[in-house]
Structure 1
Amino acid sequence: MPQPTGVPPIHVDHLPYATRLQARGLDAVDLVVVHCTELPDLATARAFGEQVRYPGSGTGNSGHWYIDRDGRIVEYVPPERVAHHVRGHNARSVGIELVNRGRWPDWLAVAHQAMDEPYPDAQVEALLALLGHLRATLPALRHIAGHEDLDTERVPASDDPAVTVARKRDPGPLFPWPRVLAGCGLQRIP
């Protein structure tokens, strides 16, 4: 079935447990949370998303959409389901994961806190197209935030427990916030 004009191509590949995630009305979503996978590629992100981390419900951690470096968008969880992507904000938000190494593979090591992989133009353009689509389909959508804006917990470093590091830093210092905010029509949560 062809998509309407202006809708970015979205490849649907729902996680095996997507239908077990809590259902909600689309009017409950007022926030988009931007993440980076902090993994090397989309295949690794998929394998991580398929892992069951909540045995009681048989579900795991995942964003709703993943955008690869070349701009390809894949839907892992439909927006009418509550995905586990950011503590304390899942019920009101959808999550967009950008494939980016971040701090991989030593996320919490003191020496690996630099996030130096830039976001390619194709990926940022796909993000803006997806955000435009979401604004048109999620009636209450008004806000955007980075994962690091909402989860500010600091934890002991994996290689030096005397030092604390940010538990979440994504999408990180190279994420082009000015460009995204200028093009998305959403307000960033401070």
Structure 2
Amino acid sequence: MRHVDTIIIHCSATPANKMLEPAELSRMHRKRGFNGCGYHFYIRRNGEICDMRPVERVGAHCKGHNEGSIGICYEGGLDAKGSPADTRTPQQKKAMGVLVEMLKREFPIVTVAGHRDFSPDLNGNGTIEPEEWVKECPCFDVRTEM
């Protein structure tokens, strides 16, 4: 088993009024040249947790941080107009909490953060601030919520 100490939360950047099936997410990642879906888990709007990539395999979800991490993606992240928004349903929030706690029991997790928290620290002050985010993903503050 590989060493994992980080969980990185993502959104699928899917508008709130659209669905993104797990098979379509995998197809999109294969089209980008990945060997299957880059995320280990995908949480549907109804709270269903889909296994997408074996945890034993390094993910393809956060460049430079895949080796020691597990990627969790939730369906959504954009409002109906296509703007970044926390569109998680109550079922997704509950499922995400359960999944993170389960993974913390299985692995020596030190960090649970959002994809945007791995943006470069452009001003070198040791903090990734909103103006430095490369993207909004996952559209909520993982560090305070998890």
| TM-score normalised by the chain length of structure 2 | 0.76
Q: Report how far residue 116 of structure 1 moved.
A: 3.1
Q: Report how far residue 102 of structure 1 moved.
A: 2.2
Q: Structure 1 104/83 Cα, relative in aligned 2: closer, same or farther at 3 Å?
A: farther
In structure 2, distance between residues paired with 1:136 and 1:48 = 28
SS in 2 for 1:135: helix
Aligned pair count reads 133
Provide the residue aligned with 1:77 in structure 2: 53
SS in 1 for 2:54: coil
Q: Report how far residue 137 of structure 1 moved.
A: 1.3
CA RMSD between the two structures: 2.9
Provide the residue aligned with 2:114 in structure 1: 146
> Does the Cα contact within 8 Å between 1:64 and 1:75 map onto a contact in 2?
yes
Q: Report how far residue 176 of structure 1 moved.
A: 6.6
> Does the Cα contact within 8 Å between 1:69 and 1:122 map onto a contact in 2?
yes
Deviations 1:48-83 (A, max 9, x none): 3232433xxx61552100001111000100111011
In structure 1, distance between residues paired with 2:52 and 2:142 = 24
Provide the residue aligned with 1:5 in structure 2: none
Identity fraction in percent: 26
In structure 1, distance between residues paired with 2:77 and 2:46 = 14
The answer to whether the aligner puts 1:36 opposite 2:11 as a matched pair is yes
Unaligned runs of 5+ in 2: 122-131
Question: Map of 1:1-190 to 2, 5 A cutoff?
Answer: 25-26=1-2, 28-39=3-14, 40-43=18-21, 46-50=23-27, 51-54=30-33, 59-60=35-36, 62-102=38-78, 114-138=83-107, 140-152=108-120, 167-173=134-140, 178=144, 180-181=145-146
Q: Which runs of 4+ in 1 moved over 6 A?
A: none
Larger Rg: 1
SS in 2 for 1:87: coil
| TM-score normalised by the chain length of structure 1 | 0.60
For 2:26, the aligned partner's letter is G
In structure 2, distance between residues paired with 1:41 and 1:79 = 25
In structure 1, distance between residues paired with 2:54 and 2:77 = 25
> Does the Cα contact within 8 Å between 1:86 and 1:151 map onto a contact in 2?
no
Deviations 1:100-155 (A, max 9, x none): 042789xxxxxx5x3235321110110010011101112x21211100111359xx
Q: Structure 1 128/93 Cα, relative in aligned 2: closer, same or farther at 3 Å?
A: same
Higher relative contact order (CA 8 A, sep 6+): 2
